[in-house]
A and B are shown apart, each in its own frame.
Chain A
Amino acid sequence: MPLLDIKNLTVEFQTAGGMFRAVDSVDLTCESGEILAIVGESGSGKSVAMLALMGLLPWTANVTCERMLFSGHDMTSTDKSVRRKIIGKDIGMIFQEPMSSLNPCFTVGYQLGEPLRLHLGLDRKAQRKRSIELLEQVGISDPEKRLSAFPHQLSGGMSQRVMIAMTLASNPKLLIADEPTTALDVTIQAQILNLLVTLQGEKNMALILITHDMGVVAETAERVQVQYAGQKIEEQSVEKLFSEPHHPYTSALLSALPERATSRRLPSIPGVVPGQFDRPTACLFAPRCQSAQDICNKQVIRQPSSLGYTLCNFPLNENITKGALL
C-alpha cells in the first residue's frame, strides 16, 4: 500500500471571472522512503495539489477527490482536529521563501520548541536538548547560540535549515518541499538539496519535491511526475524521463533547456499555458503541440503505465519502450 494515495483530485477556485480549475483530476502516489519530484511551470497546479492535501487552501477553493489516503487514513473525511494532528506530525512541509516562513516575532528556539511541545509533549528542558540535536542534524554550527536568535538574523540558507529542523522534529513519514531552493543562491541550494537527500536516506522518509528546475529534478529525484495546466501528463523514473520522454510537452521542455541547445536560438514552445478563459476542449497542450492532429481537439486518452501514464493520443518514444519490453 503506498504511503500517499491520491486519486482524481480536482481543485477549483472562485474568481472574478468564474470558477478556475487549478488542479484537474490528478492522481498521485508516493511510496514510503522514495523521492518523488513534481515538476511543472506556473499554472501547472503542482503546489495547489499538495496544499489541498495539507488543508492549507483558502475558503474560496473547492476540493473534490475520489480518494486521498495517507498511511491508510482518509484525509478528506477525518475530523478537522484529527487531521491537524496527522498533518503536523506525520507530514511536514517546507516552502519557498525561507525568510518569510519563520515568525519574525519569536526566537528560533521558541519556534523549534512548538512542534516538540504540541506533538511530542516534551517539557522545556527536553525541548531545548532536542532542539540542539535537531539543529546539529541540519548542519547549523553553534546551535546553542542560534536558539536565541531571531529569524531576521539568519541568512536564507540557515532559515531553510531551521524550517527543515522544525519539520523533522516529529519524525514525519513524508516531507513535502515546495520549491525549497528557488529563492536561494546556487551554492546554498547545493547544500540544502544535499541535506534533504541525506536526511531522507537516514530516516527512510518519503520526500516529495515540487520544483520547476529540471536540473534539480535530474540530480535529486527517483521518480518524476510532470504536470501541465493542472493536469498530470506524464510519470516516469527520472532516467527514463530525461532520455525517453513520452509526452510532447516534456520533450519540448527538455529541448528548451539552454544546456541542450544545439543552435544559438533556443527551440521554444510557441504560445502560452492556457489560462482560465481559453482552455481547449480536449488536450490542453494541443494548440502548442508539434504533433497535434484534429482528433486531439476532440478527445485525449491516458496511456498505460508502460508509457508513463502519458495523457496523449500520440505519445513519443513509443517504440523504444515497447522494444524494451519484448
Chain B
Amino acid sequence: MNKAPPIVKKNIIMQVQNVARHYKVSNGLLRGKSTVKALDGASFKLKAGSTLAIVGESGCGKSTLARVVAMIEEPTSGHIEINGKLADLDEPGTRKSVQIVFQDPYGSLNPRHKVGTILEEPLLLNSKKSNEERRHLAIEMMTRVGLRPEHIDRYPHMFSGGQRQRIAIARAMMLDPKILVLDEPVSALDLSIQAQVLNLLIDLQDSLGLAYIFISHDLSVVRHISEDVMVMYLGKVVEAGPAATIFDAPSHPYTEALLSATPTTDPNARKKRIMLTGELPSPLNPPPGCAFNPRCPKAAQICRINEPTLKENGLAQVACHFPNLLT
C-alpha cells in the first residue's frame, strides 16, 4: 500500500456549504412538475495541495456536485467560498481559479479545432496576450503534460484516448487554476494508460500545489490518490473522512457494501461478499427516511421514518442510525 504523505497543516482553499441542486421535471401534460433532488446538501472543506475524492454510484449526485463546484451550474441553495471569499462569477479572477476535466476524452475536445486552438482558447478568452505568447504557452503546456509539441496542429481524432485526456488536462491548466475538478478522468482509459495519466496528475500536484476534487467510482484508484474521501448516495453525503479511515474502517453500511463489491486482484482471496439486493433508487422517487434503507442489511423502523444527519464518528463523519462506531 502507498504511504500517505506526512500530515501537514494546510490552509483551506475551498469551502462548500450545503450546496443543493434541484431540477424541475415535468410529468407530462397537465400533471404538473416534480422536483428531482440531484444534489441535496453537500458540504466539505478542501485543503490546498491535497486531493478530496468523491465516490458513489449512478444517481448519487457526484457529477452534479462537480458541475456546481466548477461553477458550470448555479446551486439551488448553499454557497461556495474560495480562499475565504464568496465565489462570484462576475469577478474576473474567479473563473481562473477552478477548472474542470471531464470523463470522456472523446467528447470533451472540439473535433474541429486543432490542439493548438483548443489550448489557446482559454487564454484568448481571458487574457490579452499576443498570438506568439499564446502559442508559446500552449507549446510549453503540451511538453509539460508529456505530449510532443510538433503535434500542435493535429486534430483530436488523431490522438489516442490517453493523449486526449492529457490535452484536456493541459487545457484545464492553461489559466493556472489552483483547484482542479476531475470528473472520472481515468475511467474511460486502459489500465496502463490510467497509470500514466495518474502519474501525470500526481506530478502536477506535487510541483504546482494543486488541489484536486477527484470524482470516481473506482475505489482502488481513489484509495491510491486521495487524502480525504466523501461517499455519496442519492444526492446526500453518507460518510466523509480521511481515506485511510474510510477504507480500513468504514462506518456506513453502504460504504462497507461498496468496498466489498469492488473486486480485488487476488484470486486466493475470493471473499464472501456483502451482496446488496435491489436496484439503485431513482432521484425522482427517493425512499422515505434514510435513502439507503430499502437495501440496507441493518435497516430498522427508525430508518424508514427519520433521515439521519452527519455526525462525528472518530476521525470520520457518518449519516446513519446504526453506524460502526469508531473510538
Q: Do A and B touch each other in the complex, judged by CB within 8 A?
A: yes
Using a CB–CB cutoff of 8 Å, the interface residues on chain A facing chain B are 41-42, 155-158, 185-191, 193-194, 212-220, 238-239, 242, 252-254, 256-269, 272-273
A264: which B residues are within 8 A, CB to CB? 2-3, 5, 202
B202: which A residues are within 8 A, CB to CB? 264-265
- Interface positions, chain B 212-263, Cβ under 8 Å from A, are 217, 219-221, 223-225, 257-258, 260-263
B224: which A residues are within 8 A, CB to CB? 258-259, 261, 266
Number of B interface residues in the complex (CB < 8 A): 44
Main SS of chain B's interface residues?
helix
A214: which B residues are within 8 A, CB to CB? 191, 265
B131 within 8 A of A: no
B199 partner, pick from A187, A257, A265, beta carbons under 8 A: A265
Q: Which residue of B lies closest to A265 (CB)?
A: B199
Q: Are B217 and A185 in contact (CB under 8 A)?
A: yes
CA distance A215 to B258 in the complex (A): 14
Q: Distance (Å) between the CB of B271 and the closest chain A CB?
A: 8
CA distance A272 to B258 in the complex (A): 32
Q: Are A187 and B191 in contact (CB under 8 A)?
A: no
B300 within 8 A of A: no
CA distance A216 to B264 in the complex (A): 8
Q: Distance (Å) between the CB of B42 and the closest chain A CB?
A: 19
A191: which B residues are within 8 A, CB to CB? 275-276
Q: Are A257 and B191 in contact (CB under 8 A)?
A: yes
A263 partner, pick from B2, B190, B203, beta carbons under 8 A: B2
Q: Are A272 and B162 in contact (CB under 8 A)?
A: yes
Q: Are A216 and B220 in contact (CB under 8 A)?
A: no
Q: Are A269 and B266 in contact (CB under 8 A)?
A: no
B58: which A residues are within 8 A, CB to CB? 156, 185
Q: Distance (Å) between the CB of A233 and the closest chain B CB?
A: 14
Contact A268 to B57, CB < 8 A, known contacts A194-B273, A242-B265: no
B192 within 8 A of A: yes
A252 partner, pick from B1, B192, B261, B268, beta carbons under 8 A: B192
B266: which A residues are within 8 A, CB to CB? 218, 242
Q: Which residue of B lies closest to A185 (CB)?
A: B57
CA distance A41 to B192 in the complex (A): 8
Q: Are A187 and B57 in contact (CB under 8 A)?
A: yes
Q: Are A256 and B267 in contact (CB under 8 A)?
A: no
B126 within 8 A of A: no
CA distance A252 to B1 in the complex (A): 17
